[in-house]
Chains A and B, each alone.
Chain A
C-alpha cells in the first residue's frame, strides 16, 4: 500500500531563517506531487505541483520554492522566512495519468514563524 510521510511535524523558526520541509511517498512510482498551505481556520492553497523529477509548476508567486530531486521526494524551501509563511503545510500525491484524480494527503507540518 502507499504511504506518504512529512517531516518535521512541527517547526518554529525565526523570521529571516531558511526553511526545508520534506515529503516522501512510498509504494508507488512516478506520482504527481503537491504542496499546499493552509492558514489557521482556512482552506487549502495550492503552492506547487510536480509531474516528475525536476519538473515543478508554481501556482502562487511568493517566498517559497519547491524541488523534486528524486521520484518520490518533494521538498519545500525558503531562503528567508516571513511572518506570513506561518501555517500548516500539506503534501499530497496522486497516481500519474488521466482519470487518477484522487489526491492523498500527508500528515502535515505546522510551521510557526516568530
Chain B
C-alpha cells in the first residue's frame, strides 16, 4: 500500500540551531503535504502545508520544501527554541477530500536550552 517514510525518528538540537525533518512518499498522485506539531498529551496541530504546484513555502521560522520528482519533502525549523520541542508528523494526500491522508511515523524533536 501507499506509505510515507519520515526521518529521523528522534532529533536533538541545541537552542538556536536549525532542525530538518525529511519525508518520502510513494503515491505519485499525492499533491497536498501538511506538517503537524503534537505537544505532549495534545492533538496534532497544523503548522504549515504545501501543495504540489509550489516548491517551497515559508512562515517565519518554519519552511517546507517539496521535490515532486524525487517524491520527498522536508520541514526546516530555524533558530530553534525550547518550545519547538514536540513530535512532528508529515503527511501526504491526493487532494480528494482527505480520506486517504497518509501520515509519517513522527519525529520527536528535542531542543536543548
| Chain A interfacial positions (CB closer than 8 Å to B) | 32, 41-44, 46, 49, 51, 57, 90, 92, 94, 96-108, 110
Contact = CB atoms under 8 A, between A and B. Distances in A.
Contacts of B44: 44, 90, 105
Interface of B: 32, 34, 36, 41-46, 49, 89, 93, 95-99, 101, 103-106, 108
Contacts, number: 60
Contacts of B46: 102, 104
A101 B97 contact: yes
A100 B98 contact: yes
B98 A105 contact: no
A23 to B, nearest CB: 11
A110 B34 contact: no
